[in-house]
Structure 1
Amino acid sequence: MEPRAFSAFSFWLALILAGLLGIHITGSFVRSQKNHTLIFTKENAIRNCSCSVDIRDCDYCLANLMCNCKTVLPSTIEKTTYKSHLTIWFTDTSVLEMLLNFTKVWDLKLSFCGTTPLPTEYLAIWGLRKLRVNKVKGRFPEQSVIIHSSNNNENEDLLAVHNKDRQMLAYISFLDTSLFNGYSLLKSYSVDNVSSITEHFPSLLYSDVFSTSDNKSYVVTFIY
């Protein structure tokens, strides 16, 4: 190949490689900018936001500025599934109960932005894999706990993670809201192969709402 032809070939090859590299970098950037959901209450209103960047806990002004937010009426809130990261800023347990009780959430962060101690209440959350908590406006270090992990894709059913011995395996976590009062280590423990929550935990709140079907096995996790 003549030198001039070789130089032209090298030039076009460099352009092609640069283009492929640019596509790769752009794709990586887009993936890194994947939106997550932020929900918070302010002045008796609930704001549901889609954020492409992390927002400092309880910084309402910054959230309204940097995220795409809309006001949601409590009467219009419906149970949904959060397959991506969900962050909730809250000041009382009523909002948490409204947003989380028997809701399907995989990756959850809860930040307490209030000052009044919270009562001991239990919230039931389906399919929770990872929980992060930030107490008392960030005065204490953020803590996290892994409930369970899964290698399945994001389109799986949260209530039927996989079949085990022909039984439907369902994950349910009970969160004690009093864990946000002061500093204490975030703890959890799980009980596997629970065929009937009503029989295993008769005094547990909500136990009467669970199905007693023979083809379902629960993994019950307590977070406190």
Structure 2
Amino acid sequence: MAPPSGCSLLVIGALGVFALDCFARAQKNSTLIFTKENTIRKCSCSADIRDCDYSLANLMCSCKTVLPFAVEQTSYNDHLTIWFTDTSALGPLLNFTLVRDLKLSLCSANILPTEYLAICGLKRLRISTEAKHPSPEQSLLIHDGGERESREKPMLLHQGWQTCMSISFLDMALFNRESSLKSYSIANSASMASNFPYFSYFRTFPVLSNKNYVVTFIY
């Protein structure tokens, strides 16, 4: 049998690289965080886990317990899913955190207060309220935030918090309703502390005064 030609070797090599890339994509893990009984569990999962199935998550994912006061500011460029029963842990986990693709699943029938989460660089939001309302999962694409975020390089501030050029405010009271997700965006918003005086976030977290932001409200 004649040895393979140089062209054949190139084709075989290219196919091998393609197969490895597909395998790596298939094996890419997603992050799952769930809160239950005053504990926070952070998991890396290689497969989708049914919402609010804590036992299956502990069995199928690699999980560790994180103390609430030890939650560190980080960023999530891939899928992040959070199961929660109330809003107490969501602020430390999400406020001014860079999250591209977020799913929030309410795992209780609790009535949630009108509280706002401030999320940086959000491109897609999914919510599930199956434990409260027998309704299908909802999804919302946020185009302005994603486009602006890709052009602006995030900056790390001296406090260690990450700022961004697009911020989405999510009204947690929307989990009490069965209506569809809605949003509206305000582009080129400067001096956010004065434009939105009722949002205490801008007095707590540093915002660059010489930058224009895209602000999105989700309700």
What TM-score results when the alignment is normalised by the length of structure 1?
0.82
| Residue matched to 2:70 | 76
CA drift of 1:200 comes to 1.6
Amino acid at match of 2:44: S
Q: Which residue matches 2:108?
A: 114
- Residues 190-220 of structure 1 show CA distances to partners (whole Å, capped at 9, x for unaligned) of 1111111122222233243465754211111
Alpha-carbon distance change, 18 to 221 in structure 1, aligned in 2, over 3 angstroms: same
- Unmatched segments (≥5 aa) in structure 2: 157-162
Q: Which moved more, 1:77-86 or 1:198-207?
A: 198-207
1:184 to 179, 187, 191: 179
Equivalent position to 2:25, from 26, 31, 43: 31
Partner of 2:126: 132
Q: 1:143 aligns with which of 138, 145, 155?
A: 138
Within the candidate set 175, 195, 211, 1:200 is matched to 195
- 1:24 deviation in Å? 1.9
C-alpha distance in 2 between matches for 1:202 and 1:45: 33
For 1:58 and 1:39, how far apart are their aligned partners in 2? Answer: 11
Deviates further, 204-213 or 71-80 = 204-213
**What is the count of residue pairs matched by the alignment?**
210
- Note the 1:42-121 alignment, pairs <5 A: 42-121=36-115
Once residues 130 and 52 of structure 2 are traced to their aligned partners in structure 1, the CA distance between those partners, rounded to angstroms, is 10
Q: Which residue of 2 aligns with 1:40?
A: 34
Determine the structure 1 residue equivalent to 2:170.
175
In structure 2, how many angstroms separate the alpha carbons of the residues matched to 1:101 and 1:169?
Answer: 12
Alpha carbons 1:126, 1:159 under 8 Å: kept? no
Q: For 1:8, what is the secondary structure of its paired residue?
A: coil
Shift of 1:65: 1.3
SS at match of 2:187: strand
Specify every segment of 5 or more residues in structure 1 that has no aligned partner in the other structure, as ranges: 1-6, 161-167
Alpha-carbon RMSD across the aligned residues, in angstroms, is 2.8
Indicate the larger mover: 211-220 or 171-180.
211-220
Give the letter for the 1:223 counterpart: I
| Offset from partner CA, 1:101-141 (integer Å, 9 cap, x none) | 12221111111111111111111111212111111337211
Q: Assess, with a 3 A threshold, how the Cα gap between structure 1 residues 31 and 184 changes in structure 2: closer, same or farther.
A: same
Q: TM-score, normalization: structure 2?
A: 0.83
Q: Is the 8 A contact 2:168 2:216 kept in 1?
A: yes
Question: Aligned to 1:191, what secondary structure does the other structure show?
Answer: strand
Seen in structure 2, the aligned counterparts of structure 1 residues 11 and 116 have a Cα distance that, compared at 3 Å, is: same
1:164 aligns with none
Taking a change above 3 Å as real, the CA distance of residues 153 and 220 of structure 1, as seen in their structure-2 partners, is closer
